[in-house]
Structure 1
Amino acid sequence: MPNSTIYLIGEIVVMIAIFYFLLILPQQKRDKKERAMIEALKPGDEILTKSGIYGKILNIKDESITIEVGADRVKLKIAKWSVGKVINSAEEKK
């Protein structure tokens, strides 16, 4: 009887370790990479938002970004977290 309890506890520990390495750790790495990308944003960067809008960063405030969109140069104010990826960095253009 005591051995079955030890095996049960061992199986639970192994399952928790598997979930950690397969689910939690990769998600933490993605979150860290996304935070670094958002912190590195600069005016002049061309971005793609998570909703599929392409734009060029004009201004960055605390938690918002003003972007310029389309040929008509429409200005949109978006949240920083909504940036999906950087298409062209302002540094690459120089």
Structure 2
Amino acid sequence: MAGTYSPIIMTAVFLGIFYFLIIRPQQKRDKQVKEMRSNLKVGDQIVTIGGIHGKITKIKEDVLTIEVGADKLKLQIARWAVGNVNKGESTEE
């Protein structure tokens, strides 16, 4: 009788391992990124997913205006394009 349940038990074990090693950590990272993007404010130093460093000067729903470079060029980017927030770090050289 134990031999007939063996494949079902092994499948359940592999699904459990898959969930705890891959799916759950990814969900935690996604939640952290979503929280970080929702807490953006004017003055934050950010890095976009494309590698552009800038300072947020204006926030309008899902569009951010950032200031980049020594000539203070202004770019408009989507909120989802923010990859990281560098609080307290200056990007000017």
Tell me, yes or no, whether TM beats 0.5. yes
Gaps of 5+ in 2: 89-93
Q: Match of 1:47?
A: 46
Once the two structures are superposed, residues 25-64 of structure 1 have per-residue CA deviations (whole angstroms, 9 ceiling, x without a partner) of: 0001101111111111100111111111000001111111
Q: Match of 1:92?
A: none
- TM-score normalized with structure 2 length: 0.88
Paired with 1:5 and 1:82, the residues of 2 have a C-alpha distance of: 51
Q: Considering only aligned residues, what root-mean-square deviation do their CA atoms show, in Å?
A: 1.1
Q: Match of 1:66?
A: 65
Q: Alpha-carbon deviation of 1:88? A: 2.1
Q: Match of 2:17?
A: 18
Paired with 1:71 and 1:88, the residues of 2 have a C-alpha distance of: 19
Count of residue correspondences:
88
Q: Match of 2:32?
A: 33
Q: For residue 59 of structure 1, what is the amino acid of its counterpart?
A: K
Identify the structure with the greater helix proportion: 1
4+ residue runs of structure 1 moved beyond 3 angstroms? none
Gaps of 5+ in 1: 90-94
Q: For residue 5 of structure 1, what is the amino acid of its counterpart?
A: T
- TM-score normalized with structure 1 length: 0.88
Partner of 1:35: helix, strand, or coil? helix
